[in-house]
Structure 1
């Protein structure tokens, strides 16, 4: 398995343009939230009599991925995931249309991402490896709180 530093180095190759980086700093966390919102809406499943919420099952797998890469990445992404969960709880209690909010955010932010990559002149990294969809959020937070020993991107 690649180290987090190796993932960041490879991801950074197609994210050199300052405009593309700014777009990613907004769009990537927003896309993470929008996917969380869509997963939030999937009803719990009954497995041997126990209710299992797909949202929390997927979240556990995602956080395990980060833990396998770095404890710091795990903590930062767990905090962000908890924030997303709290916002979703508030939206649900306010009877907001989580589906429409998530769908509009997802579509609009992906369009913005592709504009950023057009400016960059390079394809999004996930075309090479789908795991980059999970590297992107950690890479964004790495700008604000270094997640690798050297703090480099």
Structure 2
């Protein structure tokens, strides 16, 4: 496919993949990227909501909706997959919030966030390349879609 006919999603993934060639680093990303995604959702869930109209989790919901619009415009199949992931992570986060309270959820989210980012940087040390988001912050959104696209390819699905 020539660069002029290549889709934006394919250009993003080709560039992201060039920083993730090492098998160990790729496997680390397969686990760490979803963990970071959940931890960010959980951290946003913990931001206080004032007033009676909004419920906890609204900031996470707004961020997920904005991210989902990015994914859906990039690729409908990936957008739908990310929607399913966001719904699942929202249910998990809501359940954890009910079980642990805001303080417990916050502690869990911070712990997962720190451990997952350490794993990411270890993976990039093994790779010998810096993380993609250091060149363009958009790659923080590309990572979860890249992991999902790996699953789609493994299942024989088009994205």
* TM-score of the superposed pair, with normalisation by structure 1: 0.89
* Equivalent-residue separation in structure 2 for 1:50 and 1:100 (angstroms): 26
Q: 1:120 Cα shift?
A: 0.3
Kept in 2: contact 1:30–1:105 (CA 8 A): yes
The corresponding residue for 2:126 is: 119
In the TM superposition, what is the alpha-carbon distance from 1:103 to its structure 2 partner? 0.1
Matches within 5 A, 1:2-17: 3-17=8-22
Q: Which of 132, 136, 144 is the matching residue for 1:137?
A: 144
Question: What does 1:1-153 align with in structure 2 at a 5 Å threshold?
Answer: 3-44=8-49, 50-51=53-54, 53-95=58-100, 97-146=104-153
Distance 1:150 1:55, change over 3 A: closer
Mark the runs of 5 or more structure 1 residues left unpaired by the alignment: none
RMSD (CA atoms) = 2.3
CA separation of 1:151 and 1:35: change in aligned 2, threshold 3 A: same
Structure with greater helix percent: 2
Deviation at 1:68, TM superposition (A): 1.3
* Aligned partner of residue 54 in structure 2, secondary structure: strand
Contact kept, 8 Å, 1:45 with 1:54, in 2: the verdict is no
Structure-2 change in CA distance of 1:33 and 1:104 (3 Å): same
Structure 1 stretches of 4+ with a deviation exceeding 4 A read 149-152
Q: Could you tell me whether the CA contact under 8 Å between 2:77 and 2:158 is conserved in 1? A: no
Q: Which runs of 5+ in 2 are unaligned?
A: 1-6
| Count of residues in Structure 1 that have an aligned counterpart in Structure 2 | 148
